[in-house]
C-alpha cells in the first residue's frame, strides 16, 4: 500500500526539525523486520503488527514487506491498517458497538470477539469473515500487574472452557494474548504446553490460533530457533495457522525522543529540565514507573542529574543519570526506546509543544512526517 506523500510535510529535507522530536531509524526497523522474516520462514507463523503499540504509518511501506498485516484494538486502528499497511486486517476490541461492527466488517479479514456475549450478538452480521474469540488461558507472563491479562477479575477474554466449547461452531480461530515482555523461552514453552493440553479438543477444530504479542523474540540473545521449532510443533500438532501479534518486538529500540535542556535547577541534586514530558510524550514509562534509558548515562560518569520534564506534574521525571560531562542549557538529551507505545499515546497535557515525528530513511534522508502546532492543540479541545 502506498504512503500518502501529500501528507508528508517535508520530504528528503536532510535536516532535523527543532526539538523536541521523535526520531525513527528505518535501518533499525529493517534489521528487526529481517528477524521477523526469519521466524516466519522457519516456523510458518504469520506476524501481524499490533497497532496499539506502533501506528506511525509512514514506515508501513517498509514493514509490510516483512509482515503479514495488522491487528487492532479499535475501528480506527483497523482502518489505518487497512488503508496504510494492507495485507491481513485483524479487528479486535475489548468491546465493539453496533456502529463499530458495521465499520470493521467492511475492511477486516478476521474479527476477534472478546466475549461470548459479543460473539453471539454480532455473529450473524459478520458471517463470511473469519471469526475468532479471545480466550483467557489463566496463565500469563508479565513483570507488571497492570499488563497481566490473566489477572484476577480480568475482562480480557473468556476463561470458562465449557462455555467456550459450547460456541465452538461459531468460530474458526482463537486468540490467546497472555505475555508481556516475555524473554524466557522455557516459560513460553511450558505455558504453551499447558495451553495445548487444556484446550486440545477445541484447538483440533480450529483453522487458526493467535498467540498474541508480548514475546521478546527479536531481541539479540533470544533463542529464536528454539522458539520457531516450538511454534511449528504446535501448528503441526493441531493443524492450525499460528499468528503472532508483535508490538514492541516489531520496533524494539528503533526510535529516540530527542530533547534539549531548557534549565538546570538544584534541590539537593542537579535537575535538568528538558523540553518534553514523560506524562505527555513517553506515557508508558510513567504508567509502568520505569526509568527511561539515556545512552550517555551508560558511560557512568561523575556528573549526576535528574532528567525531568517540562510539565507541572511533580512526578514528571525521566530518571536519574550519570553523565561524563556536565550538562548545560541547550544540550541535546536523547531518550531511547521511544518507538513502542509512545507516539500512539502522546497527548496535549499542559499544552506543551508536541514533538514532531522524523524518520531517518534507509538512504539517510530525513523525512519530517508530522508537526503539530498551537492550532492542533486548540482543535483537540473544541
Ligand atoms: C491483544 C494484544 N495483542 C498484541 C499486543 C502487543 O503486545 P506487545 O507490544 O507486548 O508485543 C497486545 C498488547 O497489549 C495485546 O493486548
Q: How far is the CA of 179 from the centre of ligand 1 (A)?
A: 8
Mean pLDDT calculated for residue range 34-57 = 98
CA angle 64-66-69, nearest 5°?
Answer: 45
Q: Would you place residue 15 in the very low, low, confident or very high pLDDT band (cuts 50, 70, 90)? A: confident
Ligand 1 site-directed mutation target among 215, 247, 287, most atoms within 8 Å of CB: 247
Domains present along the chain, CATH in parentheses? 27-250 (3.20.20.10), 255-379 (2.40.37.10)
Q: What is the pLDDT of residues 204-215, one digit of tens each?
A: 999 999 999 999
Which of 154, 167, 162, 169 has its CA nearest to residue 116?
A: 167
Mean pLDDT calculated for residue range 181-203 = 97
How distant is the alpha carbon of residue 375 from its chain centre?
A: 28
Q: What is the pLDDT of residues 292-314, one digit of tens each?
A: 999 877 778 999 999 999 999 99
Percent of the chain past pLDDT 70, that is, above it, reads 96
Instruction: Give me the chain's average pLDDT, please.
Output: 94
Q: Check if 132 has its Cβ closer than 6 Å to any atom of ligand 1.
A: no
Q: What is the pLDDT of residues 65-122, one digit of tens each?
A: 999 999 999 999 999 999 999 999 999 999 999 999 999 999 999 999 999 999 999 9
Q: What is the pLDDT of residues 262-295, one digit of tens each?
A: 999 999 999 999 999 999 999 999 999 899 999 8
Q: Bin 181: left if φ > 0, else alpha if -120 < ψ < 50, else beta.
A: left
Which of 91, 42, 30, 90 has its CA nearest to residue 66?
A: 30
Q: How far is the CA of 177 from the centre of ligand 1 (A)?
A: 7
Per-residue model confidence (pLDDT) at position 14: 58
- List Cβ<8 Å contacts ≥24 apart for 71-77: 71/210, 71/245, 74/100, 75/100, 75/103, 75/104, 77/51, 77/52
Q: Check if 177 has its Cβ closer than 6 Å to any atom of ligand 1.
A: yes
Per-residue model confidence (pLDDT) at position 11: 47
The three cell numbers of residue 13 are 529535507
Per-residue model confidence (pLDDT) at position 316: 97
* Cβ–Cβ < 8 Å for 333, 260: yes
Q: What is the pLDDT of residues 330-370, one digit of tens each?
A: 999 999 999 999 999 999 999 999 999 999 999 999 999 99
Amino acid at each position: 500500500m502506498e504512503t500518502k506523500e501529500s501528507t508528508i510535510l517535508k520530504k528528503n529535507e536532510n535536516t532535523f526539525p527543532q526539538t523536541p522530536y521523535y526520531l525513527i531509524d528505518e535501518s533499525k526497523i529493517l534489521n528487526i523486520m529481517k528477524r521477523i522474516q526469519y521466524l516466519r520462514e522457519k516456523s510458518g507463523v504469520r506476524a501481524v503488527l499490533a497497532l496499539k503499540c506502533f501506528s506511525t504509518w509512514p514506515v508501513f511501506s517498509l514493514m509490510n514487506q516483512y509482515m503479514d498485516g495488522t491487528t487492532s484494538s479499535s475501528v480506527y486502528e483497523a482502518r489505518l491498517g487497512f488503508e496504510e499497511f494492507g495485507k491481513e486486517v485483524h479487528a479486535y476490541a475489548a468491546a465493539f458497538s453496533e456502529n463499530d461492527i458495521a465499520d470493521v466488517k467492511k475492511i477486516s479479514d478476521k474479527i476477534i470477539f472478546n466475549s461470548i456475549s459479543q460473539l453471539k450478538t454480532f455473529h450473524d452480521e459478520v458471517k463470511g469473515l473469519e471469526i475468532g474469540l479471545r480466550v483467557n488461558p489463566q496463565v500469563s507472563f508479565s513483570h507488571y500487574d497492570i499488563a497481566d491479562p490473566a489477572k484476577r477479575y480480568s475482562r480480557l477474554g473468556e476463561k470458562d472452557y465449557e462455555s467456550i466449547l459450547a460456541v465452538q461452531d461459531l468460530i474458526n480461530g482463537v486468540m490467546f494474548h497472555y505475555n508481556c515482555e516475555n524473554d524466557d523461552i522455557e516459560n513460553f514453552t511450558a505455558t504453551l504446553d499447558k495451553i495445548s493440553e487444556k484446550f486440545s479438543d477445541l484447538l483440533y477444530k480450529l483453522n487458526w490460533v493467535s498467540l498474541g504479542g508480548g514475546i521478546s523474540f527479536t531481541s539479540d540473545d533470544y533463542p529464536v530457533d528454539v522458539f520457531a521449532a516450538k511454534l511449528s510443533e504446535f501448528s503441526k500438532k493441531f493443524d492450525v495457522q499460528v499468528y503472532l501479534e508483535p508490538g514492541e518486538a516489531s520496533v524494539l529500540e528503533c526510535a529516540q525522543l530527542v530533547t534539549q535542556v531548557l534549565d538546570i535547577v538544584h534541590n539537593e541534586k542537579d535537575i535538568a529540565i528538558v523540553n518534553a514530558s514523560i506524562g505527555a510524550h513517553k506515557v508508558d514509562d510513567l504508567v509502568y514507573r520505569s526509568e527511561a534509558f539515556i545512552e550517555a548515562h551508560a558511560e557512568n560518569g561523575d556528573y549526576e542529574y535528574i532528567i525531568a520534564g517540562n510539565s507541572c506534574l511533580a512526578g514528571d521525571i525521566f530518571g536519574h543519570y550519570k553523565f561524563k560531562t556536565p550538562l548545560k542549557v541547550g544540550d541535546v538529551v536523547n531518550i531511547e526506546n521511544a518507538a513502542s507505545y509512545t507516539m500512539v499515546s502522546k497527548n496535549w497535557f499542559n499544552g506543551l509543544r508536541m514533538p514532531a515525528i522524523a524518520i531517518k530513511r534507509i538512504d539517510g534522508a530525513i523525512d519530517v512526517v508530522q508537526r503539530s502546532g498551537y492550532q492542533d492543540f486548540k482543535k483537540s479541545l473544541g
